Amino acid sequence: MIKSLVILMFSLPAFSLVITEDMRWKEYEHGAYQYLPPMGSEKVVNKVEVKTNPIVRDQDGFGTCYLFAMTSLMDQSCLKSGNCSKDDQISVLDVLGKTQLKSGNQSEFLGLNGGNLSQVIDALTKGEKVSLKFAKEECAPYQQIENFNNPDNDFRIVDYPQLLAINEIYHQVKDNSLKDGVCNKCSEDFFKDFFPFSSEMLDNLSRAATRITSINAFEEFLNEVLIPKKCQEDKSQVKLPPIGFKQERITDVDTFRKKMTELFEKDKSAAISSCTWTRYCDDPSVRYMEMCPKEQRQRYCGGHAYLLSGFRKICDDQNKCRNQYRVHNSWGKNFDVFNDSGWVNEDSLFKAYKDLGNQLVTYTED
C-alpha cells in the first residue's frame, strides 16, 4: 500500500500552488524568491549556468547588497581572467571605501545602509574601462563590522561602539583638530577616549587622521582604518584586468530572458535589483508579524541587489512549462539550502524587478 502511494505521488501531474493572502503574509515576505522544484511529471528540459561562479557571501544585517553584487561581478571577472582564484576574493570593505557615497550623516551613513549599482560603477570606473585593484578579503575581512547583535537587520551606527567611535573621530579631526595640515589631536590617548582600540587599529587611525585633508567622506576614512597598510601593498592586492560595466534598461520579460541566457552562455552573471517586500504592523504593540490583524497589515518595497547566474526551463508531460533563474544572493549559504539551491520562479522574480522601478541589468563588458 505504501509503495503504491509513493508511485501515485510521483506520477501526479504538476499543479499550480495557490498562494492565499494569509500564506503570503506568513511565509512569503520576500516575494521575488518564490520557488517550486520539478514536481510530478515535470522535468528540466533546458538549463544554462555560469561556470565561474564566485563564492556565496553574507552581507549580514547591513544594507550592503549593492556592494556585494558588484564585488561578486568583479570576483567573477577576475576568476575568468585567471588573475585570481576563489581564495582571492575582493574585500567588500575596500570596495565600500572606494565608492564614497558621501552621505555626511553621523547617525546613519549611506555606505552601510543602502546604495545602488550605478553609484559603485560611477565611483570605480566613471563609465570607462579601467584596471582596478583591491585588498583581499582575507586581509581586510567584512567580519570586522558584522552586526551579530542586531536581530532586526536594521543598521544604526550608534548601536556599534567601534564604528561609532571611528565616525566621531573622523568628524572631530575633520572639523576641529587640523591646523596647518597637522593633526594636533592624533595621539593614542585621544583615540582611546572614544574606544579601547587595538594597537593595529591605533596605527591605522593615526595614518588615516594625518591624511584627513585629502579624505572627502567617512566611507573613505573607514577604508583607511579598516584596511591595514599591508593589505594596500601591491603584492597583497587583487589586480583585475581592464574591466568595464554595462547597464541595460530591460522592461519586458522576453527580452530579459533572452539577455540572461545570452550572458550565461558567455559565462557571465548579471546583477539586478528588485523589491524585497518587508512586513510591518500598524499596531506597534504587535511583536510577531504573524499575529498582526489583517486590517493593520502593511508592506513596503525595500530594494535588494543580487546576481542571476543560471536559467532553466521546466516542463511536464502535457508540455506545460515554466521558467526559473538561479539567484546568487548575499544572504549566506542558508538561502541556497532553503530555496532549492537558489532556483526561483521567473514570474515572481520579474514582477519584483519591475515593481522596484529602475529595471537595469548590470554586467561586465567583453
The stretch 190-211 carries a mean pLDDT of 88
With bands split at pLDDT 50, 70 and 90, how would you rate the model's confidence at 235? confident
pLDDT at 19: 62
Mean pLDDT value across the chain = 84
C-alpha cell recorded at residue 307: 546576481
Which residues does 8 contact at the CB level (< 8 Å), separation at least 6?
A: none
Quote the strand ranges of the chain, DSSP E.
43-49, 133-135, 178-179, 182-183, 237-239, 245-249, 270-281, 297-315, 321-328, 343-345, 360-364
Kindly report which listed range (91-100, 199-208, 213-222) carries the lowest average pLDDT score: 213-222
The stretch 337-363 carries a mean pLDDT of 93
pLDDT at 118: 92
C-alpha cell recorded at residue 296: 493593520
The stretch 228-243 carries a mean pLDDT of 88
The stretch 218-247 carries a mean pLDDT of 87
pLDDT at 158: 67
Kindly report which listed range (28-37, 54-63, 225-234, 290-299) carries the lowest average pLDDT score: 28-37
Q: What is the pTM of this model?
A: 0.82
Residue, of 280 and 183, whose pLDDT is higher: 280
- Dihedral sign, CA of 113, 114, 119, 121? positive
Residue whose C-alpha is closest to residue 110's, from 96, 121, 123: 96
Residue whose C-alpha is closest to residue 218's, from 109, 69, 339, 73: 109
With bands split at pLDDT 50, 70 and 90, how would you rate the model's confidence at 3? very low
Sole residue written with cell 592586492: 237
Rg (the chain; Cα; Å):
23
Pairing relation of β-strands 43-49 and 133-135? Answer: unpaired
The residue length of the chain stands at 366
For residues 72 and 330, what is the distance between their CA atoms, to the nearest angstrom? 9
pLDDT at 327: 97
The stretch 22-40 carries a mean pLDDT of 77
Each residue's pLDDT tens digit, 43-95: 999 999 999 999 999 998 788 899 999 999 999 999 998 888 888 899 999 99
Q: What 8-state DSSP symbol labels residue 14?
A: P
The stretch 311-325 carries a mean pLDDT of 97
pLDDT at 26: 63
For residues 155 and 223, what is the distance between their CA atoms, to the nearest angstrom? 18
Best-predicted range by mean pLDDT (31-40, 91-100, 242-251): 242-251
With bands split at pLDDT 50, 70 and 90, how would you rate the model's confidence at 306? very high
Residue, of 17 and 353, whose pLDDT is higher: 353
The stretch 258-272 carries a mean pLDDT of 97
Percentage of the chain beyond pLDDT 90 is 44
The stretch 313-342 carries a mean pLDDT of 94
With bands split at pLDDT 50, 70 and 90, how would you rate the model's confidence at 181? low
Between the CA of residue 137 and those of 92, 140, 234, 237, what are the distances in Å?
A: 7, 5, 15, 9
Q: Are 98 and 223 in contact (CB under 8 A)?
A: yes
For residues 346 and 261, what is the distance between their CA atoms, to the nearest angstrom? 13
pLDDT at 157: 67
Each residue's pLDDT tens digit, 120-164: 999 899 888 999 999 999 999 998 776 554 545 556 666 678 888
Which residues does 51 contact at the CB level (< 8 Å), separation at least 6?
A: 267
The stretch 5-15 carries a mean pLDDT of 39
For residues 135 and 238, what is the distance between their CA atoms, to the nearest angstrom? 6
Q: Residue 350: is its pLDDT beyond 90?
A: yes
Q: Residue 216: is its pLDDT beyond 70?
A: yes
For residues 70 and 78, what is the distance between their CA atoms, to the nearest angstrom? 12
With bands split at pLDDT 50, 70 and 90, how would you rate the model's confidence at 5? very low
pLDDT at 104: 45
pLDDT at 12: 41
The stretch 5-12 carries a mean pLDDT of 38
Q: Residue 105: is its pLDDT beyond 80?
A: no
Count of other CB atoms within 10 angstroms of residue 149: 8
